[in-house]
Chains A and B, each alone.
Chain A
Amino acid sequence: MSSSVSSSFRLLTTRIPVPLSSTKSLFSSSSFKPTLSSPFLISKSISFQRIETRNQSRSPTSISASSSTSLQPVEELPPKLQEIVKLFQSVQEPKAKYEQLLFYGKNLKPLDAQFKTKLNKVEGCVSQVWVRAYLDNDRNVSFEADSDSVLTKGLAALLVLGLSGRPVEEVLRVSPDFAVLLGLQQSLTPSRNNGLLNMLKLMQKKALELYVEAEKGVLESAQSSEGGSAHNELQSSKLESNGDASSSNSTVVGSSSVGEGSVSKKDVKASEFPGLGSRGTRIKEKLEKELDPVELDVEDVSYQHAGHAGVRGSDGETHFNLKVVSKEFEGKSLVKRHRLIYGLLQEELQSGLHALSIVAKTPAEVGAA
């Protein structure tokens, strides 16, 4: 709407004195009563013009994007996102924009329940939104998302379609400014708009994590955590040079790599085991190390308990199913086996792990050789 108004203002500047009728229509659109005489109007229109140019130059500079000082040119966006932006720009009427948004949301592939974890949840949304990221064979990042609100699902769909199948660097370079280009920003309440911003941020964070993890996998995986953290810093600095958009994300990696060695290893390994977050990974590693199991299954079923009283305040990863087959259990009663496992996972239990469902057997019991 602002673009159409500004174009008519531009018309005005070339035609002073202003014919009363054209300013009248402008005034009525902003519900002013044109009771003043025409000379007044002419001078007022000049002042309109000044204000309007301020507005025009204001929009690129005043966007409170975390990084960019000027609106990211559409051409820099991933191609599919460019298409989507252009489509929305071509639709003027707000209602039609909503229809378009809802249409996108409707066609978004639903997210499997197992991925609706706390780690995948977007913070700051009035509705529930989950986002999942994975790398395909060409090391491009792809996304899946879901929401219980159809408008938010529409926004998520825009991001999923616009960013999927692209190289990680490109995804990280996307500035949230493009939301303005959609023309939806003024139509959507700030809290929802923050949802779009936070969705994008989470997607970028996940893309970066996947990238770092993949890079780590290419080199010989560092035995020591220091090696890992040095590597991470290398990666983050390499990506940092790719533009401002990643700077906010590099701090995420930075914090995980600069912390205690074991912390960085945990965070980086987040995606090594599909479906397991950092706690799940720690549990698996601990049990592997201490019990030398023949068989070990660690399953995160926290999502089944989301909303349950004991889960409140914890960071997801609260409920696990464990199946352990180990020689360590020989000669121990069932109670003793469970106590052994609980003992090994004391730290986790004290830091938010809520419950374990354990199957603990010896190799003989499962008939394994």
Chain B
Amino acid sequence: MEGVALKFPPLKLFNPNFPTSPATTVTFSSSSSSSSCSASLPVSATAGKEADSALGTLSLGHLTRPDFPILHQEVNGSKLVYLDNAATSQKPHQVLKALQSYYAGYNSNVHRGIHYLSAKATDQYELARKKVADFINAEESQEIVFTRNATEAINLVAYSWGISNLKPGDEVLLTVAEHHSAIVPWQLVAQRTGAVLRFVDLDENEVPEVEKLRESISRKTKLVVVHHVSNVLASFLPIKHIARWVHDVGGKILVDACQSVPHIVVDVQELDADFLVASSHKMCGPTGIGFLYAKSDILSAMPPFLGGGEMISDVFLDHSTYADPPSRFEAGTPAIGEAIGLGAAIDYLQGIGMQKIHDYETELANYLYESLSTIPNVRIYGPRPSEKVKRAALCSFNVEDVHPTDLATLLDQQHGVAIRSGHHCAQPLHRYLGVNASARASLHFYNTKDDVDDFINALSETVSFLNSFK
């Protein structure tokens, strides 16, 4: 099909996916308040149906969907229902445009050049850093180190801070629900330093046992590594409290915010986090870029991670001196376009307002959980949602006597529904729960209740289909 498309001169005739809505760019400033967003929400010119109805009766999902070109396609003969957002999110055309503009307009190496293009690229790159800092309420942009993704950011902390601060017998406290990226770097560093890793189990609600975590914090605890929101259990951890407990004993906390930064308001000063990591591709930004937030005094004391250009001050043959952070930790040419793309993603999210996104996704989360619960013999992992206990908009689940991979395959093949099946980079958690694998449906603010309905119908049919062979 690609070969054929080349033959057709007017390409845009066959690309109904790109909404022509020039008005959208006007609404984005980095500090728009959420109250004004309902008036300035991007409504695509091609989405006639949506424009007719009063904005108030349409969900955030319906309103933002037109901005995401990739959602408007068919897979395997059915309309695509994308429910794998915890793995990666989709990008609004504003982000795509920013990437295009960068590469077409001012691509140039940053920090090194004198000429016009390079100055512009540098400005935009540093502006993106400022946008990230503002987004999570860091004190200054210098506290943001751009990395390839959250995994690299955690490795940075492990190999830079960990190696130089952990001694034999020191303890690093984690939970069994951590992502592999939060566990493995610390295993590697523990081997090198003689530090000990300790893991907190789940309680009867399938949430890490917070009291046990508190009790496990001692003078030996140098670092606590915890998720803010679990990518399997959908649970939230009380980071602010945990940070306080660990600070009381002189330790530090590293927050894996990959599933929280894209979905809720995250304020690093309010949480009092020492380290916080997130990935751009999960928050509507491009792949290939992520960041580490660290308090400036901690960052200043850390030795380099990767060596090379950009992170140096002076280079001699037998030794070199190093730059101040954040440059000290950004060796080589960074993913400039991608950082700028992340900045555009943050603009887009701020344009909607994180609190609004959070509120909408809470509604979706409850709807998903309740709808999924109607499937017979289904087992959803994590806590039950209630007034006190909030869940993220994702559900990892298993259906009795049905392998999750069979579910995911048939959902994709027969219904165009994209979910994930496997261990979701959380093998210790699955072992703890006593299963090999689970299926997971995860939503983002551009999903709607209709998506959930489509998913549940498809799931129901698939389960019946598979059960008919028993």
Contact = CB atoms under 8 A, between A and B. Distances in A.
A31 B437 CA distance: 37
B13 A33 contact: yes
Contacts of B74: 31
A35 B421 CA distance: 42
B383 interface: no
A126 to B, nearest CB: 5
B330 interface: no
Contacts of B422: 126
A47 B437 contact: no
Nearest to B3: A51
Given A35-B13, A127-B405, A307-B431, A106 B421 contact: no
Interface stretch (A94-102, A175-183, A286-294): A94-102
A152 B466 contact: no
Interface string B157-188: 00000000000000000000000000000000
Interface in A303-359: 307
Nearest to A97: B413
Interface string B413-434: 1100000011000000001000
B1 interface: yes
A36 B4 CA distance: 14
B415 to A, nearest CB: 11
Question: For chain B, which range describes its interface: under 10, 10 to 19, 20 to 34, or 35 or more residues?
Answer: 20 to 34
Contacts of B4: 30, 32, 44, 47-48, 51
B9 to A, nearest CB: 9
Interface residues of A, number: 30
Contacts of B421: 126
Interface string A100-119: 00110110000000000000
Nearest to A195: B405
A18 interface: no
A163 B385 CA distance: 51
Contacts of A33: 13-14
B469 A44 contact: no
Nearest to A106: B469
Interface stretch (A61-69, A185-193, A233-241, A274-282): A185-193
Interface string A154-198: 000000000000000000000000000000000111001000000
Interface string B376-402: 000000000000000000000000001
Nearest to B5: A32
B437 A127 contact: yes
B413 A126 contact: no
Interface in A16-38: 30-33, 35-36
B13 A126 contact: no
Contacts of B470: 106
Given A126-B421, A126-B422, A95 B414 contact: yes
Contacts of B403: 127, 148-152
Given A35-B13, A150-B469, A98 B410 contact: yes
A149 B405 CA distance: 7
Nearest to B470: A106
A54 to B, nearest CB: 8
A70 B409 CA distance: 29
A242 to B, nearest CB: 35
B147 to A, nearest CB: 28
B436 A44 contact: no
Contacts of A126: 405, 421-422, 437
B7 interface: yes
A147 B465 CA distance: 18
Interface string A261-299: 000000000000000000000000000000000000000
Given A47-B7, A126-B421, A126-B422, A151 B406 contact: yes
A303 to B, nearest CB: 14
Contacts of A48: 4
A192 B466 contact: no
A187 B431 contact: no
A232 B421 CA distance: 42
Contacts of A187: 413
Interface of A: 30-33, 35-36, 44, 47-48, 51, 94-95, 98, 102-103, 105-106, 126-128, 148-152, 187-189, 192, 307
Interface of B: 1, 3-4, 7-8, 13-14, 74, 76, 402-403, 405-406, 409-410, 412-414, 421-422, 431, 436-437, 466, 469-470
